[in-house]
Amino acid sequence: MKAEEVSFIFLGNEGIVEVPFFQRGYVWNEDNWGDLLEDLLNRSKNHFLGSLILKQHDPVSGSPKCVSVIDGQQRLTTLSILVKALYDHFSPALKQTGESSLRSVLFYKLSPTAKEFHVKIRHSHVDAGPYEKVIRAGLDGNPQLVIDHGAESQSRILQCYSYFHHRIQEAQDAEREALFNRILDSENKMLVAIDLKNQDNEQAIFDTINSAGVRLSCADTIKNALFQRAVETMGRSRAIELYKTTWEKAFLLDPEALEYWETERQTGRLKRDNIEILLHSIAVIKGFYNPETDTLSDLSDRYKSQIRQVADETQLRALVDEIVRYAEIYRTKIPVTDKSELFNFAEGTRRLLFILDALEISTFHPFILYSFKKYEHDNSTLAKLLLNLEKLVIRRMVVRAETKSYNKLCRELIQSPDSIGKKAAEITNIQLSSGLRGISNKFASLLLFWIELRRRHLDSKRDIKDLKYVYTLEHVMPQKWEEHWSDIPDKKDAKGTKLSSEDAKKDRAEKVYWIGNMTLLTSALNSSLRNYRFEKKVTGEGRKKGMKDYAELDITRDDIIAPFDGGDKTWDEQKIISRTAKLEGEFKTIWGV
């Protein structure tokens, strides 16, 4: 290994500068671009932009020399795009004098007399096309780029060029020329190039380099280790073939695939993207990651240890194929949900996944993924397992059982799937009754939404069976009831003894949080109307709409508005007791064991 300070024009001595096929794509964003540009524009400081890890390939007769960028591709790519953006703003005369310098760092030729120039930095994945488009634009008969500054959907490479194009437009010609020259100044040694020899362990060196910029994700680290091992066990060309037919096809095939695997899910206090949840799930299923003792930061190390045990090409292919197969199941069966989607009670699997997303629980994804694969030809068993898991999660939610044991529970379920029904039954009906009589707004909203969908599912007269999860929870008797709901009836305890005024108030305060006092509206009530007496709260006042105007759902219209329209203008503790019992019955029909 040799480390040396170099200027950007060191590229002029290289042939092909290859981003290894298994490296992540280009990920820098506007913050990174802005920091780099501001650093380069500051003439009062020395510009150190970080390190590069490079590994020379063995020379092949008749081919240009080739070097792999083990680390630093984000930095090299960005600098090259900046240089090209500067050049594209030059006058025709300045372009003529600067073209040879540009070509020396961004292009190579197969021979000194060859006419054709090839782009020097060779990307893979979806970045290759956009990068070549940027570097070749306006040269050798290629058209200039059409800039779309607002196109967030375009590739990050094109966004980078668009950013620099916009910033450079604001500069004077002399400033552009000066920056171009400064970047290509042989004395401006702003990088440290670390050249690896064949015997150097590039993965180990890479892992210990604390480079600037966007650090590798857990998934990137695992992928790099996996395909570095592939190169070692089966050779570079066969490893590339394996990569393109498996990993690239599963995770990088198109922008839609990239977006799906990069989409984050809220999991408790953390956000984790789909690919990390997938890899975590596989590690739990295969048993080399223990979620009870290992942390998420250990995941990549557990994979590396597993990968090091791979002895030959057959084992390596089997591991990659297994990951890809689980990825296919995960993407097909575990979609990303949002509030714009319609849900139907009859879709049991989607109901379970929606509930887990709403509760920010991903702990059971290993069991779900395991079940999808193991029972893919046994729909009856699969449906039963997933329904029992839903019952387990919902029942524990209602009684506010701790979730810390879910990691252990998930592993137990993978080892013994049939035990899930017994686990759900550990929450008794007495506990559930108590939980429904003191439930949080979030949990109540979830239950009421699916109870509503079940009613529609069973009602043959109902045309609309599907709903979006876009409703607002409302306490019929308000949480701040004292001013407008002060007429508390006489109450007795279980022994028939009349309650004191203070105890009667406490009883009312408790029943406000019973599920029978809660409903879902299509919009939140005006804040000044929310605490009014029942009649005004239902009908509204002036231009302020009441519950009646937002009563789209059966749980509101049938349970509350219809009796009101029939002449029953009272809402009190007895009504809450009766409606809670009704909803509890519906709850047990859905989630009972």
Strands 66-71 and 518-521: unpaired
Which contacts of 382-387 are long-range, i.e. CB under 8 A and separated by 24 or more positions?
383/348, 383/349, 385/417, 385/420, 386/348, 386/349, 386/352, 387/348, 387/352
Token pair, residue 141, equals 């008969």
> Residue 360: what pLDDT?
92
Region 519-525: what's the mean pLDDT? 96
> Residue 215: what pLDDT?
59
> Residue 210: what pLDDT?
43
Cα separation, 52 vs 75, whole angstroms: 8
Entry pTM: 0.75
pLDDT in tens, 8-27: 999 998 999 998 887 778 98
The number of residues making up the chain comes to 593
Sign of CA dihedral 357, 363, 368, 370: positive
Cα separation, 23 vs 214, whole angstroms: 13
Ranges of H-type helices in 375-478: 379-398, 406-415, 420-425, 429-436, 441-458
Maximum CA extent, the chain: 107
Region 495-500: what's the mean pLDDT? 83
Cα separation, 457 vs 435, whole angstroms: 26
Please tell me what DSSP assigns to residue 71. E
203 pLDDT more than 60: no
pLDDT in tens, 299-317: 999 999 999 999 999 999 9
Query: Exposure pattern of 528-562 as b/e (b: 16+ CB <10 Å)?
Result: ebebbbbeebbbbeeeebbbbbbbebbbbbebbbe
Ranges of H-type helices in 170-267: 173-183, 202-208, 218-234, 236-245, 247-251, 255-262
Q: Are 222 and 18 in contact (CB under 8 A)?
A: no
Q: Are 203 and 225 in contact (CB under 8 A)?
A: yes
Cα separation, 44 vs 35, whole angstroms: 15
463 pLDDT more than 60: yes
Per DSSP (E only), the strands in 72-188 are: 107-108, 118-119, 121-122
191 has which bridge partners? 6
Find the distance separating the first CA and the last CA of the chain, reported in whole Å. 64
Cα separation, 389 vs 383, whole angstroms: 10
pLDDT in tens, 135-167: 999 999 899 888 776 555 578 999 999 999 999
Token pair, residue 460, equals 């043959």
How many of the other CB atoms lie within 10 Å of CB of 218? 20
> Residue 402: what pLDDT?
93
pLDDT in tens, 340-388: 899 999 999 999 999 999 999 999 999 999 999 999 999 999 999 999 9
Confidence of residue 496 (pLDDT cuts 50, 70, 90): confident
3-state SS assignment for residue 524: coil
> Residue 211: what pLDDT?
45
Token pair, residue 383, equals 């449906």
> Residue 146: what pLDDT?
82
Closest CA to 121 of 202, 228, 11: 11
590 pLDDT more than 80: yes
Torsion angle of C-alpha atoms 582, 587, 590, 591, degrees rounded to 10: -150
